[in-house]
Structure 1
Amino acid sequence: MPSLRSRALSAALVATGRRRRFATAEAVRATVARSARRPASHLPPRSLGRVAEVSRTFVGAWPVYDASPRGAEPVARVLYVHGGAFVDELVRPHWSLVRTLVTRARARVVVPAYVLAPRGTADRTVPVAADLLSGLIESGGAGGTILLGDSAGAGLALAAAQRLRERTGAQPSRIVLVSPWLDVSMTHPDQAAIEPADPVLARAGLAEAGRLYAGTLPFDDPRVSPLHGSFEGLAPLTVFTGTRDVLSTDSRELLRRARAAGVEVEWHEEPGLPHGYPLLPVPEGRAARERIVELVTAAADPL
């Protein structure tokens, strides 16, 4: 049974029409058009600078933020890939999670503000993400590196891990996926039954966002939809999902395919919780964030 606070938040999301942004393909195209005219900021909040040393570099066209504990040596590394259906920038809940990792896990957190669709397509985006992951691993050894992503960012993170495995066989110590979007086709037969209860997402808009991200690639290309890639040789996985998330089908398919390939999977499925619940200010979200902090701390090694 979901907590009272989480039920209230889900009701508020429904009442405010949060799902309208993904209700139709036209709604997503309108969002993209608005962003082209007036790009949203991906800058971290000023409050992060009170607890973290924050710097920014550029990898090609990507601004990449680097946050480390202020006045202390980091003991672990995290590459965090944000969600937003490949069409939305970093927002406050993403930066709040970064703050938690910096302050609670004493982690150095690298956060790419990757180029959004339709300019940023999978064929261009996945190799750069794999490069960032490779560089972070090589900077101090795989033992202290966690790859973390939420929603679309979780799909990009998994595709980057698959790409890096194909290149060199290297992997982070663990891959943590929050409400991952792993198949942009939105054709799983169970999604139709889940969609009416989802207070955040809808299939039509997601399919359009996926089309923009795919570019010229087919939907089942693993760079676009890593659920169709190989799971052999991947790092251990931790997956968080909720049953009121239309994308929970991707998480369940991931669980089945990864375990069939011999990959260790730590599984968290919360009844009645919506998409991205580990980023939300609800008891279940706090518990999920505590577990992520534990995983990062467990991966720590001297840098």
Structure 2
Amino acid sequence: MRATTATGEDGDRGTATPPPAAPAGTRRSRLLSAALLASGRRRRYGSAARVHEHIGRNVRRPSAHWPPRGLGRVAEVSRSFVGAWPVYDVAPRHREAAVRVLYLHGGTFIDEIGRSHWSLVRQLVTEAGAHCVVPAYTLAPRGTAERNVPAAADLLSGLITNGGTGGTVLLGTGAGGGLALAAAQRLRDRSGLLPSRIVLVSPWLDLSASHPGQEAVEPLDPVLGLPGLREAGRLYAGTKEATHPMVSPLYGKLSGLAPLSVFTGTRDVLHTDALELRERLRAAGADPDYHLAPGQSHGYPLLPVPEGRAARARIVDLTRAVAECGP
């Protein structure tokens, strides 16, 4: 189904409608989605109160954000601090990195980076020869868009200007996808600097979670729920409106950005954000590299399913292409 055209890049939320989220995909991916639904994982997003309960548990027993021990056997891993952020550098062993990647993890701004993210980082280092920079950015409610977007833009600027040979990929997943796009917009407006490519995986781009098409997808989404998303988005927005471009980059200027790739699945309630981004980019004169996976859930490129493996291979190829072309 061809999506209807969204409004202009600085207009109100458009009406791009996703295709029906019918069951599809390989047997393994269907089984995993069913298992996720049965596990009740998305209960944390069932209400604002449950989001606050989850944040409270994280405060009492903070989750670790450091890399798994096995990563150090295949890559050089170090940690530094940029302001209050721990920042991990993961680089190839015994050879110079061919490309740089700023990796901004997902977790709806209330969860630390998880093992599946580190697995993708490992693959980028070992298969694409990438030097990955992975910040453990401050989570909501202390970490807000007003604080995190400028800090991410500064990290990206440093990679572009001081990284040596090779290009720079800006890669964000879920909430990190929204942070990545907002940082790219800020850096473009501030200095004109651009990464070589932007890659967004299941990005959360409109934190108001107000698209009318999301209500139809929500019952099929095994991971996310709209009430919790709206509350997490409100916390991350801080004193700003949820539709402020720094919070929700879908409402920002989308022209003049680097080449952009998007990965999304039709069982992801945030699929509407990716679809709307595609239409707005086209309206702004861009031609995004858009990957739609029928029947796949939020963050499917990080999952151990055939569709996830294919998406990860494509992300590695995109990163290698930047290495070959240079800055």
TM-score above 0.5, yes or no: yes
Shift in Å at residue 78 of structure 1?
A: 0.3
What secondary structure does 1:230 align onto?
A: coil
Whole-angstrom distance in 2 between the partners of 1:179 and 1:81: 12
Is contact 2:98–2:165 with CA below 8 Å preserved after alignment?
Answer: no
What secondary structure does 1:180 align onto?
A: coil
User: What residue in structure 2 maps to residue 35 of structure 1?
Assistant: 58
Shift in Å at residue 73 of structure 1?
A: 1.3
Q: Which runs of 4+ in 1 moved over 4 A?
A: none
Give runs of aligned pairs for residues 9-88 of structure 1, distance below 5 A: 9-88=32-111
Whole-angstrom distance in 2 between the partners of 1:175 and 1:221: 21
Instruction: Please tell me whether residue 272 in structure 1 is matched to residue 295 in structure 2.
Output: yes
The aligned amino acid for 1:210 is: G
User: What residue in structure 2 maps to residue 189 of structure 1?
Assistant: 212
User: What residue in structure 2 maps to residue 174 of structure 1?
Assistant: 197
Whole-angstrom distance in 1 between the partners of 2:96 and 2:323: 12
Instruction: Please tell me whether residue 242 in structure 1 is matched to residue 265 in structure 2.
Output: yes
The aligned amino acid for 1:52 is: A
Whole-angstrom distance in 2 between the partners of 1:179 and 1:142: 30
Instruction: Please tell me whether residue 253 in structure 1 is matched to residue 270 in structure 2.
Output: no
Whole-angstrom distance in 2 between the partners of 1:229 and 1:135: 23
Question: What is the aligned counterpart of 2:154 among 127, 131, 150?
Answer: 131
User: What residue in structure 2 maps to residue 93 of structure 1?
Assistant: 116
Per-residue CA shift, 1:157-211, capped at 9, x if unaligned?
A: 0000000000011110110000000001011000000100001000000000000
Whole-angstrom distance in 1 between the partners of 2:116 and 2:178: 18
Shift in Å at residue 39 of structure 1?
A: 1.2
Matched positions, count: 303
What secondary structure does 2:268 align onto?
A: coil
What secondary structure does 1:77 align onto?
A: strand
What secondary structure does 1:175 align onto?
A: strand
Shift in Å at residue 141 of structure 1?
A: 6.3
Where does the alignment leave 5 or more consecutive residues of structure 1 unmatched? none
Instruction: Please tell me whether residue 222 in structure 1 is matched to residue 239 in structure 2.
Output: no
Whole-angstrom distance in 1 between the partners of 2:125 and 2:280: 32
User: What residue in structure 1 maps to residue 182 of structure 2?
Assistant: 159
In structure 2, do the counterparts of structure 1 residues 133 and 63 end up closer, same or farther at CA, with 3 Å as the change threshold?
same
Instruction: Please tell me whether residue 118 in structure 1 is matched to residue 134 in structure 2.
Output: no
Is contact 1:66–1:109 with CA below 8 Å preserved after alignment?
Answer: yes
Is contact 2:99–2:165 with CA below 8 Å preserved after alignment?
Answer: no
The aligned amino acid for 1:39 is: P
What secondary structure does 1:181 align onto?
A: coil
Shift in Å at residue 143 of structure 1?
A: 5.6
Shift in Å at residue 51 of structure 1?
A: 0.4
Shift in Å at residue 142 of structure 1?
A: 8.9
Deviates more, 1:247-256 or 1:138-147: 138-147
The aligned amino acid for 1:299 is: V
Whole-angstrom distance in 2 between the partners of 1:262 and 1:103: 35
Deviates more, 1:17-26 or 1:149-158: 17-26
Whole-angstrom distance in 2 between the partners of 1:232 and 1:88: 31
Per-residue CA shift, 1:220-256, capped at 9, x if unaligned?
A: 1111000000011000110000000000000011001
Whole-angstrom distance in 2 between the partners of 1:136 and 1:264: 25
- What is the identity percentage for the equivalent residue pairs of Structure 1 and Structure 2? 66
Where does the alignment leave 5 or more consecutive residues of structure 2 unmatched? 1-23
Is contact 1:231–1:261 with CA below 8 Å preserved after alignment?
Answer: yes
The aligned amino acid for 1:216 is: T
Structure-2-length-normalised TM-score: 0.91
Question: What is the aligned counterpart of 2:128 among 90, 94, 105?
Answer: 105
Shift in Å at residue 140 of structure 1?
A: 3.4
Structure-1-length-normalised TM-score: 0.98
Is contact 1:184–1:206 with CA below 8 Å preserved after alignment?
Answer: yes
The aligned amino acid for 1:283 is: P
Is contact 1:62–1:115 with CA below 8 Å preserved after alignment?
Answer: yes
Shift in Å at residue 4 of structure 1?
A: 0.7
Is contact 2:101–2:169 with CA below 8 Å preserved after alignment?
Answer: yes
Is contact 1:121–1:213 with CA below 8 Å preserved after alignment?
Answer: yes
